[in-house]
Amino acid sequence: MRIALVTEFYYPHLGGVTEHVHHLALELRRRGHEATVVTSNMTGQGEDPPFVRRLGTSRLVYSNGSFARITTGFGLMRRMTAVLRETGAEVVHLQDALAPTLGLVASSAAWRMGLPVVGTFHTWFRRSPGYWAFRRLLQPRLDRLDARIAVSRPVVQAMSKYFRAEFEIIPNGVNVEYFHPNGRRPSDALTSGPRLLFLGRLDPRNGLDTVLAAMPEILAAYPATQLTVVGDGPLRGYYQRKARSLGDRVRFAGAVFTERPDYYGTADLYLCPTTKASFGITLLEAMASGTPMIVSDITGFRELVDGGAEAVLVPKGDPAAWAGAAAALIGDPARRGTMGAAGLAKAARYAWPRVADRVLAVYERVKR
């Protein structure tokens, strides 16, 4: 089957949608399907895999406490139509199908060509002024999709505030061969110094300021603690200035791609202080790496953890609570070992072959 996966978010932009699209494409291609990722040109992009096609120029815009992307350029409809024809797409799969720009352009092009269109929705929000303002225009487009997928129940709940539709919940997946334990033992934190990891885009909603504010108390209990910050973004300079007083106890690694499994695997704790999320792909990556986690007690993470032993849920934006949780776990290697094992077991349930089976079933159902 020939599938066009259309997305505003792809490398070098790090985030959940990027990981979802890339690994879905890899799994589909591994099975012999011709999956093409259609995205836009971005500053800092490197050499793409042969299955990636780019058109237009991606622009960063601030939206809902984070930095989103929209594609601009002349002739986007014509160029999108050309890509769909050249790749022989039989199914067009959109990510966040109602958001500008590529989802709207690709759906219009696909409908003109008589192609089935699947939409996956990734975003959770308390409110959306854009959806409220344009809901009457967007509802017919949502109705016209041949299938609607949501990555979690919170996404369905958010979309239901403005739209009427039935969604099939298919979660994000994780590559359990790529992300895996690397041999670091829970006791190593007490013999060679605790290693804490933050991995994510450096934007307001990902909450790095909470971890930085917690570090003095963590260091008071365990002076050899090292926090590694993996990720980049417009606020990197701001966070680096906030971390100056912590000296060499905080290291900014910048944007990281292929080395991410090493960072997860060598961390004693993964800290995810995000203030808003629909699912939590980085949580799955940490689980697959056998790394115990402290994560924000928010809607998207609460559903994924669901009472599991792999993570401790802590109130968002509360540095004292984060410091207390981190210090307690650093001093309890046995519990961290139990958490890591629980994470490995849960990650196996979200392995990409399982998730791709369900996505392919949707493609088969809508294919004309």
Asked, for residue 183, whether it belongs to a domain, the answer is no
Do 148 and 212 belong to one domain?
Answer: no
Q: Which residue has the tokens 């369900």?
A: 358
**pLDDT value at position 52?**
98
Q: Which amino acid is at 254?
A: G
Asked, for residue 180, whether it belongs to a domain, the answer is no
* 256, 230 contact by CB (below 8 A): yes
Asked, for residue 229, whether it belongs to a domain, the answer is yes
**pLDDT value at position 197?**
98
* 58, 42 contact by CB (below 8 A): yes
**pLDDT value at position 66?**
67
* 211 φ/ψ angles, rounded to the nearest 5 degrees: -65, -40
Do 137 and 245 belong to one domain?
Answer: no
**pLDDT value at position 212?**
98
Do 74 and 194 belong to one domain?
Answer: no
* 152, 122 contact by CB (below 8 A): no
**pLDDT value at position 64?**
64
Report the number of distinct structural domains present in the chain.
2
Asked, for residue 284, whether it belongs to a domain, the answer is yes
Do 298 and 361 belong to one domain?
Answer: no
Q: Which residue has the tokens 């809902």?
A: 64
Asked, for residue 182, whether it belongs to a domain, the answer is no
Do 125 and 230 belong to one domain?
Answer: no
**pLDDT value at position 354?**
97
Is beta strand 66-72 parallel, antiparallel or unpaired with respect to 52-63? antiparallel
| Residues 6 or more apart in contact with residue 32 via CB below 8 angstroms | none
For residue range 159-190, what is the model confidence (pLDDT) as tens digits?
999 999 999 999 999 999 999 998 778 877 77
**pLDDT value at position 158?**
94
Do 107 and 198 belong to one domain?
Answer: no
Do 128 and 162 belong to one domain?
Answer: yes
Do 217 and 148 belong to one domain?
Answer: no
* 33, 2 contact by CB (below 8 A): yes
* Domain CATH for 273: 3.40.50.2000
Asked, for residue 84, whether it belongs to a domain, the answer is yes
**pLDDT value at position 308?**
84
**pLDDT value at position 167?**
98
Q: Which amino acid is at 65?
A: G
Do 41 and 138 belong to one domain?
Answer: yes
Do 341 and 358 belong to one domain?
Answer: no
Do 158 and 229 belong to one domain?
Answer: no
**pLDDT value at position 277?**
87
What Cα–Cα distance (Å) separates residue 208 from each residue in 65, 78, 136, 267?
13, 41, 37, 17
Do 106 and 16 belong to one domain?
Answer: yes
Report the chain's terminal Cα–Cα distance, integer Å: 12
Stretches in the chain below the pLDDT threshold 50: none
Asked, for residue 70, whether it belongs to a domain, the answer is yes
**pLDDT value at position 243?**
97
This prediction's pTM: 0.89
Beta-sheet strand order (sheet of 66-72): 66-72, 52-63, 34-41, 2-6, 91-95, 117-121, 147-150, 168-169
* 31 φ/ψ angles, rounded to the nearest 5 degrees: -90, 5
Asked, for residue 179, whether it belongs to a domain, the answer is no
By residue range, what is the domain housing residue 142? 2-173+351-366
Q: CA 175 to CA 23: how far, in whole Å?
A: 7
DSSP state, residue 278: S
Where in 145-280 does DSSP place strands (E)? 147-150, 168-169, 195-199, 226-230, 250-254, 269-272
**pLDDT value at position 22?**
96
**pLDDT value at position 279?**
87
Helix then strand count (H, E) for the chain reads 14, 14
